[in-house]
Amino acid sequence: MTRSAEQLRWWQTRWFVALMAVLAAVPLLWPDIPPMVDLPGHMGRYRVQQMWDTGQAPWFHDWYNFDWSLIGNLGVDLLVWLLEPLIGLEPAVKLIILTIPALTAVGLLWIAREVHGRIPATALFALPIVYSFPFHFGFANFVLSMALALNAFALWLRLGRQGRLVLRGVVFVPVAGLIWLTHTFGWGTLGVLAASAELIREHDKRRNWFAAAFHAGLHCLVLAPPALLMLLWRSGGHVGGQTADWFNWRAKMQWMTMTLRDRWQLYDLASVAVFYLVLFKGLRDPNIGYSRNLGLSALFLIAVYVLLPRIVFGSAYADMRLVPYLFGISLIALRPKPGLSIRHAGVLAAIGLAIFVGRMAATTYSFWLYDRDYDRELAALDHVPVGARLVTFVGETCYNEWRMTRLQHLPGIALARRQAYANDQWSMAGGQLLTVRYKEARGFSHDPSELVTDVKCPREYWRPIAGALYKFPRDAFDYVWLIRPPQYDRRLEQGLVPLWRSGRSAVFRIDHSVPPPDLTWSDLGNRPFAKPRRHPSRQMAANEPVRKN
């Protein structure tokens, strides 16, 4: 695209892009542990990974299996493996996670510049997706792969615009492999974006859609080699997990409103509403149009979203993860038409920047509050010895409130800091490098055994707190860690010696010489099931399988 000699506006300069990258990282500067739901569980796995063959924690071999293998889900795992010996586990994780929002912001603005020639004012409205629901959920490898895929797509566009197709072909063979290794989803998204961009570029040259599709496919072959790795991974005979729940329209509609779900429901919903208003303005305002290149990319992503099931290879929320990037590509597809005044464009840029700054300020405060919760609960680990056989129960509800506590996988920090047993680890052969082998723990060995509720939740695997405290195999554990559990009958503490309490949270040492309480369900007075509460914006899809990153 021809570059105008006209002076760049403030939102089109490189310093502005750099400033947006720095601003995107601000919310993560204060917390010691990025407050992402699944991340503490992953940190436990990283600790096992780093100590597996060192002989420093031989008891790990009694509890877990850890086998290095080539899978499309290793991004943060490999970076931690490189950085941990230099700066330690927790600083390494924080540094890696901190770069993801910054990379996402740079990727969005770089793509916009390559497609439009300059960064349009409307592109700033896409920046809030740097902290999206998949990020808050803790899908660390996924969000890293998507950040890399956005920047790789920008480089793909740049080399294509410069006509350096041979160089692009050489560069993108390893680039595609690295993004696949980070997470398969990022590689697939890069392929969709590159294919749509090449289709438009070839059509502009040949004016024939069939010829354009053929030549676009030839160009995209350099991205295909990881498909062989995928076949090797999935045909290894050790990969389980169902692919199910196709065309769940109710869930898909919910994901479209939960894109920025964090803490304050009205604010998060209002921020998503801005996305829709800006996209609607692009359709109605004669001064704003859509790029054919990114417009087709957005349509391709919509098609993928519609066709994706909710569960892929046992991993839930597969379709939900795509939604923020669908919004992002759609928003940066907007551009002012010739004739739009600089003043009007400046107002749009200022509004977009104000919304992004507001989201970063809110996220910073939200993360500070979550960090306080982490500090309060992690004080319990001062009373847990290194190598403890620890079972943890984290309070949950049946109603899936908008604000998630971020405590669900805090047991992973006991594994990371104290090398204690963590019953929150995922155990999916082939899905991750770590699987659980501690048979003595029986039904309390892995996720979701750490989650407990006050009553039995319909269509969930979670146990009521009374049943968990009553049934867990005491001979398999030496310590119990309760993290904000629901109210329970204190008679269930028979044989549990309190070492620390803070509110409802507590650490107990199990006295194996004292038998567990001899109680019945009628003694405990627990209702067997919760009455489901229906609310389309709060009730998430039920019957979730074990999650993986």
User: How far is residue 476's CA from residue 390's CA, in Å, rounded to a whole number?
Assistant: 9
Percentage, residues of the chain above pLDDT 90: 71
Give backbone dihedrals phi and psi of 402, rounded to 5 degrees, phi first: -55, -45
How confident is the model at residue 236, as a pLDDT?
55
- Same structural domain, 318 and 383: no
Same domain for 343 and 438, yes or no, is: no
Q: Is residue 220 part of a domain?
A: no
Give yes or no: residues 80 and 108 share one domain: yes
pLDDT band at 340 (very low <50, low <70, confident <90, very high): low
- For residue 182, tell me if it sits in a domain: no
Question: What was the pLDDT predicted at 102?
Answer: 98
From 35-49, 76-90, 185-199, 216-230, the region with the lowest mean pLDDT: 216-230
| Residues 456/466, Cβ–Cβ less than 8 Å | no
Which of 36-45, 47-56, 534-543 is predicted with the least confidence, judged by mean pLDDT? 534-543
**DSSP string computed for 420-443:** ---TT----BTTBSEEE--GGGGG
Let me know if residue 209 belongs to a domain: no
Last residue of one domain, picked from the residues 339, 367, 395:
367
- Please state, as a whole number, how many other Cβ atoms lie within 10 Å of the Cβ of residue 355: 19
**pLDDT > 50? residue 129:** yes
Confidence category of residue 241, pLDDT binned at 50, 70, 90? low
In a domain? residue 339: yes
Give the span between the Cα atoms of 345 and 329, in whole angstroms.
19
The per-residue pLDDT for 532 is 44
Closest CA relative to residue 297, chosen from 177, 200, 186:
200
Within 8 A by CB and 6+ apart from 133, the residues are 255, 258, 259, 260, 261, 262, 320, 323, 324
In a domain, 548, yes or no: no
Judge whether residue 16 has pLDDT over 50.
Answer: yes
- Do the beta carbons of residue 254 and residue 272 sit within 8 Å? no
* Residue 257, in any domain of the structure: yes
pLDDT at 122 over 70: yes
pLDDT surpassing 50 at residue 61: yes
402 & 498 share domain = yes
* Residue 319 confidence class, pLDDT cut points 50, 70, 90: confident
**Residue 450 and residue 338 in one domain:** no
The token pair that represents 535 in the structure block: 């609310």
**482: phi then psi, degrees, rounded to nearest 5:** -100, 125
Selected residue with higher pLDDT from 116 and 205:
116
The answer on pLDDT for 497 being more than 80 is yes
Last residue of a domain, one of 341, 367, 393: 367
Is residue 527 classed as helix, strand or coil in its secondary structure? coil
- Residue 549: pLDDT over 70: no
Q: What is the pLDDT of residue 533?
A: 44
Which pLDDT does position 164 carry in this prediction? 94
* Mean pLDDT within 20-39: 97
Do 303 and 440 have their domain in common? no
Domain count within the chain: 2
Question: Phi and psi for 105 in degrees, rounded to 5?
Answer: -60, -45
- Both 34 and 101 in one domain: the answer is yes
- Do 355 and 433 share a domain, yes or no? no
CA dihedral for 113, 116, 117, 119, sign (positive or negative): negative
Residue 382's contacts (CB-CB under 8 Å, 6 or more residues apart) are 500
Residue (of 263, 426, 292, 287) closest to 345 by Cα position: 287
Average pLDDT for 205-224: 88
Q: Is the pLDDT of residue 291 over 70?
A: yes
Q: What is the mean pLDDT of residues 361-382?
A: 97
Residue 106 has pLDDT above 80, yes or no: yes
| Higher per-residue pLDDT: 473 or 341 | 473
Tell the burial category of 396 from Cβ atoms under 10 Å away from its Cβ (0-12, 13-18, 19+): buried
d(CA 495, CA 488): 15
Same domain, residue pair 151 and 277: yes
Q: Look up residue 131 and give its DSSP letter.
A: G
Note the pLDDT of residue 287.
76
- Is the confidence at residue 25, as pLDDT, over 90? yes
Indicate the range of 21-30, 100-109, 251-260, 306-315 predicted with least confidence.
306-315
pLDDT beyond 90 at 44: yes
Token couple for 377: 């609960």
Q: What does the pLDDT read at residue 522?
A: 64
The CA distance from 90 to 84, in Å, is 8
Does residue 238 lie in a domain region?
A: no
Distance (Å, rounded) from C-alpha 145 to C-alpha 154? 14
Using a CB cutoff of 8 Å and minimum separation of 24, what contacts does 364-371 make?
364/26, 364/27, 364/30, 366/27, 366/262, 366/263, 366/264, 367/27, 367/28, 367/30, 367/31, 367/34, 367/35, 368/30, 368/31, 369/263, 370/31, 370/35, 370/406, 371/30, 371/31, 371/32, 371/33, 371/35
Q: Are residues 306 and 445 in the same domain?
A: no
pLDDT for the residue numbered 235: 60
What pLDDT does residue 229 have? 80
The answer to whether residue 2 scores a pLDDT higher than 60 is no
Q: What is residue 526's predicted lDDT score, i.e. its pLDDT?
A: 52
Q: What is the pLDDT of residue 141?
A: 96
pLDDT score at 251: 87
Q: Which residue(s) pair with 464 in the sheet?
A: 453
Stretch 360-369: mean pLDDT: 98
The pLDDT value given to residue 6: 58
- Look at residue 337 and tell me if it is in a domain: yes
- Give the pTM: 0.92
Most confident of 96-105, 203-212, 297-306, 309-318: 96-105
CA distance to 16, 127, 304, 357, 399, per residue, from 124 (Å): 11, 6, 25, 11, 35
Question: Taking Cα atoms as reference points, which of 163, 63, 34, 10 lies closest to residue 425?
Answer: 63
- Cα gap 371→125, rounded to integer Å: 28
Which range has the worst mean pLDDT, 320-324, 335-339, 455-459? Answer: 335-339
Residues 360 and 380 in one domain: no
Average pLDDT, stretch 464-491? 95
The domain containing residue 392 runs over which residues? 376-524
pLDDT of residue 217 exceeding 50 = yes
Q: Of 45-59, 181-195, 422-436, which gets the smallest average pLDDT?
A: 422-436
Is residue 509 pLDDT above 80, yes or no? yes
Residue 170's pLDDT is: 95
For residue 361, pLDDT beyond 50: yes
Quick one: pLDDT band at residue 345, thresholds 50, 70, 90?
A: confident
Of 313, 347, 367, the one marking the end of a domain is: 367
Average of per-residue pLDDT values in the chain: 89
- Predicted confidence at residue 505, as pLDDT, reads 97
Q: Which of 54-58, 88-92, 504-508 has the lowest mean pLDDT?
A: 54-58
Residue 451: its H or E element:
strand 451-453
Region 19-41: what's the mean pLDDT?
97
Which residues on adjacent β-strands are paired with residue 429? 432
Range of lowest pLDDT (162-166, 499-503, 519-523): 519-523
DSSP 130: G
Tell me the Ramachandran region of residue 231: left when phi exceeds 0, alpha when psi lies from -120 to 50, beta otherwise: alpha
Looking at the structure, tell me whether residues 132 and 253 fall in a common domain: yes
Question: Residue 500 burial (CB < 10 Å; 0-12/13-18/19+)?
Answer: middle
**Are the C-beta atoms of 495 and 541 separated by less than 8 Å?**
no
Averaged over 31-56, what is the pLDDT?
96
Instruction: State yes or no: pLDDT of 540 exceeds 50.
Output: no
